[in-house]
Each structure stands twice: as C-alpha cells, then as structure tokens.
Amino acid sequence: MRGWKPSAKTRKAAALLFTWGSLALLLSAGIMLLQVYEEDITPYVGSYVVAVIGTATLFAFLTWAILKDKKITTADRVPLVLWTVITLAGGMVGTIVAGPKLYEYISTSPYITWIDGQDPSSAITVNWITSYPTTEYVSYGTNRWSLAQVAPAGVNTRFHHAKLFSLSADTTYYYQVPGFPVKQFRTAPTGAFNFTFYAWSDHRTNSDFVMSCFQPNVVEGIASYAARKGVPGAFTICTGDITSTSNDYQGWDVFFDDIAYQDWTANKSLQLIYGNHERNGDPEKIIVKNMFPYPQKADTNFFYSFNYGGAHFIMLDPYDTGHSWASDFSAEQLAWLESDLAANTDANFTLIFMHPPPWSLSGVRTELARLVNVEGYNIDTIFCGHDHVFDRRNLSTTTIQVLTLGLGGNPNNEYQDYDCDTAFARFDVTTTALTVTSIFINGTILDTFTIPA
C-alpha cells in the first residue's frame, strides 16, 4: 500500500465522517450525562443546547465546503479555530470549577433510618434529597395499592426527613416518595428474637472522585453475599468516613448511589456514625445534619442508642467540639453513656459502635475499660473503623473484644496485594449467643468469634 493516496471521494467521506462523528459524540456525551446525573445538570441543559446548535451550524458550513470542493480560506478558519478553543477551554474550566459545584445539588433516592428515640418496632424516618427546595411528603400504609397515610417531609427544603410513628410491630409497610416507585420496609417484632445485621466502615475515604469510581461498592458486596447465603439482614450500620471532607459532594453522591444498590437502604434501615472525615471543615455540622439528621447533643455530637431483638446498640461519637479528632469523651457524652448503660442492664447483648478505635484515644480507652467492668453494664463487644486494617484484640486487661474493620472500600490499606481488599462484618444475634464474622466481599472469611449470652 506504499504510495497509495486516497481518492477525492474517499477524502470527502472521511472528512464528513469525522465532522458529524464529532457531533454525534458530543450528543452522546450529553445524553449520557443527563442519564447519570439527571436533574443535577438541569440548569446547564440550555447552555449545552446552544453549544450543540452552534457546533452543528459550523459543521453544516464545513459539510457544504467539503461537498462543493470549496477552499476554506484563512478568514473562514478563524471562527472555527476560535470556536474550538472556546469549547475546549470552556470544557476544562467547567470541569475544574463548575464540576464540583454541580454535586452540591445532588439528589438521592429514599433511604431510611431510626432517628434518636425511635423504636424500630413502631417508627422510622424516610429521608431523601432533591436538587432544589420543594415541599414534599411520604405516602405510606400496609397495603401497597392504597397508601392512605401521609407524613410531611419538610417545607421548601432540599433535605427531606419524614418521621413515621405509631406503626405496628412485625409488619411490612409500603411507602412512596414523590417521583419514585413504591418502596417497603418491615418493622421489628417486639421482645427478643434471632436476627442478622451487617456493618462496615470507611466507605472509599481518601479516594478522589475518579478513583472512587473504580473501587468496589461494599454495599453491593454485602447485598450479593446476603443473596447467596439467603440471609438478607435486618439492617446495616456504617461507622463513618464516607467522604473525604464534609463538602466533598462528589463523595456524598458516590455514597448515596452505593447504598441505593437494589434499594438496599430504601428497604432497610441504615444506622450511621460520623467519622472524622465527613465532619472535617464543618464545625457546625450543618452538612452532616442535612444528610442524616440525628439530634445533636449538648457537646454538639451525635451519640444515640436503640434496641433491637433483645440487643442494645450504643452509637458513640467521641470528638471534640468543633474539631475532627478527640482523645476523651465530653462530660455530656460520658454522663449519657453511663445513664444509658444503667437503663439497659436487661439486654441480652450490649454492642458499642464508634468510628475511632480506642487504642490511640487514652481517655476513651480508659473510660471504656472502666465501664466494661461495672457490674450489670454487660458490654459485649465494640466495633470500630478509622484504621484501614482488620484488627481484633481485648480492651486493655478486659476480655471484651474490640473489632476494627476499616476496609469498607478504601484502597489505602495493607490488603491491596490480596485477591480482595474490601470487607464487612456479619453479626448473627440469637437469644443465646452473638457471632461476629469478618468477610471479604468475595466471600472469603477473615475472622469469626462467638460471645455467649
């Protein structure tokens, strides 16, 4: 083929293919973005349409020139070059400057949780976020085809939280958020019973947006495992570090997309503890309160507890006011913790969840070691994240097991050379024993231990 020169007809066809192929790519990219980000990019659709029309006009001129064998003069090239430069520069500036801003207006599908004080057998909170302030509500009931009850979810706000009370125990409820299909959840039975739940920590933290797209979704891993084993789980717990910083809206968007996998958190409660990352840069904690509105206590933190199936769950938040780290409980949190333990001595099991492990927090470690030795408090185990490792050890000189499992999708850990580096914990609770199993999302068991009642 050496010395071969394409014919004039071939050159014209190639030029036309390149010209209109470029426009097709531009249109395809726009449609893809609209499908992925939906109303998040609605304000920019008009500008996009103008850009497409302008590009199509210029390409029409090029097509006419090619078909008519017209010579494109220097004067004709100027607007084409300028348009190309402006388009490329605008795209770069938009990506760097406007891109992160777009994510501030994220919208989510519904996700449910028990707010402080809600009894899982009779109440729950339905949450969702809209790109623009709206006044919305939740329709719900026990008949999927007749959602006769209504709960308000905020007036002229983007952050919607509808509290559902006076529900019947051990009952399937259906609910609908405007713009979404009907979802469902089941309230807890009363008293003690056998159940399973799942927990994880450090959800893709420290990953930039691009890298996070290539990291595994631990919720998908949990859901796939649960389906294979036939153990769906009653609810899930995440112990923090779900974004790199509080205003990392791209990280929030990834997180909400992840937990929406197969309606995982639309159909079962997700209980959250805030880590140091998502509170970093948000001393008033406005952003995190918008996402998960757990009531703030006197020390500005979000500690709370709930009961489920005869087990007592304590969610701690040992951080200094206005900071993203701590070494001790505040006086308010310690007093609350002791009062809460004293009020729940009849629980079959008492489980503590918090983001940082107690090893580097001298005051927290000392107080927890003291409390586990108080007769009647009956603390059984502590689950933590923060450190991107698996670690299980006794708390000080006690026999209480502290499980650190900060492998919830963050690639910054020591397991990258393994076949899998993302893991979660399965908690099987019966009336006679608690079994905790750490599992890689490929199904490999990392560790297991059992605590008798």
Can you give the pLDDT at residue 451?
Answer: 94
Can you give the pLDDT at residue 32?
Answer: 63
Q: Is residue 53 in some structural domain?
A: yes
Q: Is residue 25 in some structural domain?
A: yes
Q: Which residue has the higher pLDDT, 104 or 304?
A: 304
Please name the amino acid found at residue 375: E
Give the start-end residues of each E strand in 189-319. 195-200, 236-238, 270-272, 304-308, 311-315
Can you tell me the mean pLDDT for 47-66?
Answer: 70
Q: Which residue has the higher pLDDT, 358 or 30?
A: 358
Q: Is residue 213 in some structural domain?
A: yes
Can you give the pLDDT at residue 285?
Answer: 85
Can you tell me the mean pLDDT for 157-169?
Answer: 96
Can you give the pLDDT at residue 104?
Answer: 77
Can you tell me the mean pLDDT for 2-23?
Answer: 62
Same domain, 71 and 199: no
Place of tokens 């990219």: 29
For residue 70 the two structure tokens come to: 């017209």
Please name the amino acid found at residue 144: R
Same domain, 56 and 173: no
Q: Which residue has the higher pLDDT, 221 or 2?
A: 221
Three-state SS at 426:
strand
In this structure, what CATH number is given to the domain that contains residue 167?
A: 2.60.40.10
Report the chain's terminal Cα–Cα distance, integer Å: 82
Q: What is the pLDDT of residues 77-133, one digit of tens each?
A: 556 556 665 665 665 555 555 555 666 788 999 999 999 789 999 999 999 999 889
Residue 359: pLDDT band by 50, 70, 90 thresholds? confident
Residue 33 has pLDDT above 70, yes or no: no
Residue 391 has pLDDT above 70, yes or no: yes
In this structure, what CATH number is given to the domain that contains residue 389?
A: 3.60.21.10
Q: Is residue 2 in some structural domain?
A: no
Residue 397 has pLDDT above 80, yes or no: no
CA distance 246 to 277: 7
Same domain, 266 and 410: yes
Same domain, 17 and 152: no
CA distance 233 to 255: 20
CA distance 276 to 233: 27
Q: Is residue 3 in some structural domain?
A: no
Same domain, 257 and 335: yes
Phi, psi of 388 (to 5 degrees): -85, 60
CA distance 359 to 217: 28
For residue 116 the two structure tokens come to: 């402080």
Note down the domain range covering 55. 8-103
Can you give the pLDDT at residue 45?
Answer: 63
Cβ atoms of 126 and 164 within 8 Å: the answer is: yes
CA distance 52 to 87: 11
Can you give the pLDDT at residue 180?
Answer: 95
**Residue 77: enclosing H or E segment and its boundaries?**
helix 74-93
Mean pLDDT (the chain) is 84
Residue 303 has pLDDT above 80, yes or no: yes
Can you give the pLDDT at residue 8?
Answer: 60
Q: Is residue 128 in some structural domain?
A: yes
Same domain, 157 and 233: no
Can you tell me the mean pLDDT for 280-303?
Answer: 87
Same domain, 171 and 201: no
Cβ atoms of 187 and 157 within 8 Å: the answer is: no
Task: Give, in order, the Cα–Cα distances in Å from 375 to each of 313, 333, 380.
Answer: 18, 20, 13
Same domain, 128 and 232: no
Cβ atoms of 348 and 192 within 8 Å: the answer is: yes
Q: Is residue 32 in some structural domain?
A: yes
Phi, psi of 253 (to 5 degrees): -65, -45
Q: For residue 395, count other CB atoms closer than 10 A to its CB.
A: 22
Q: Which residue has the higher pLDDT, 320 or 171?
A: 171
CA distance 127 to 109: 8
Q: Which residue has the higher pLDDT, 217 or 279?
A: 217
Q: Is residue 352 in some structural domain?
A: yes
Same domain, 67 and 161: no
Burial 38-76 (b: 16+ CB within 10 A, else e): eebbeebeeebeebeeebeebbeebbeebeeeeeeeeee
Structural domains in the chain (count): 3
Q: For residue 81, count other CB atoms closer than 10 A to its CB.
A: 10
For residue 434 the two structure tokens come to: 């608690």
Residue 219 has pLDDT above 90, yes or no: yes
Residues in contact with 35: Cβ distance below 8 Å, sequence separation at least 6, in sequence order: none
Q: Is the pTM of this model over 0.85?
A: no
For residue 428 the two structure tokens come to: 């099987």
Same domain, 138 and 44: no
Q: Which of 83, 103, 123 is the last residue of a domain?
A: 103
| Cα 64–Cα 67–Cα 72 angle in degrees, nearest 5 | 60
Phi, psi of 236 (to 5 degrees): -130, 155
Phi, psi of 4 (to 5 degrees): -70, 135
Same domain, 123 and 76: no
Q: Which of 165, 189, 213 is the last residue of a domain?
A: 189
- Reported residue count of the chain is 453
Same domain, 276 and 349: yes
Q: Which of 189, 207, 237 is the last residue of a domain?
A: 189
